[in-house]
Amino acid sequence: MLPKGITKRSLIGVLAAFCLSGLLALTGCQGPVVPYQNTLNPFPQVHLASYGLQGKILVNEPIVSRVGDGQLDVVIPVRNVTADDLYLEFQYSFLNAQGAQVEETSGWNTLRVPAYSMAQIHFTSLTAAANFNCTIRRLP
């Protein structure tokens, strides 16, 4: 027995609409899983070595200038967005105009970034390099 004012036909229509919306919701879950896009670090020369580090620091645009006999001087501002001090390591290398490495990769350098503060990674090439790469990781 159906409640007053509800016909068998309207009940079937509501049930069909509910089933159809459920099927449409399930079909939306098909396809590949899209990986997390790093919108916090849009600078291709700077690489964050850890996925977890992406939510802890923000990398501002590198400031690149020429000094001396054409050496490349690089400053990378890094902002800590957590309530804890972060201890980071960074490593850099310099490249020529074709993208080939022209100097040996540096060793790992340490950087302390206080809670909710900024620090700068700073390095200068020995030659007139055209570009650079820098990798940042959390100190183990």
Q: Measured between alpha carbons, how far is 46 from 134 in angstroms, rounded to an integer?
A: 5
Q: Could you report the per-residue pLDDT of 24-33, keeping only the tens digit for each?
A: 555 555 555 5
Is the model's pLDDT at 137 over the cut of 70? yes
Range scoring the smallest mean pLDDT among 38-47, 50-59, 69-78, 93-102 = 38-47
Q: Topology of domain 46-138, per CATH?
A: Immunoglobulin-like (2.60.40)
- Structure token pair of residue 87: 């201890």
Q: How confident is the model at residue 34 (pLDDT cuts 50, 70, 90)?
A: low
Give pTM, 2 decimals.
Answer: 0.69
Q: Could you report the per-residue pLDDT of 72-81, keeping only the tens digit for each?
A: 999 999 999 9
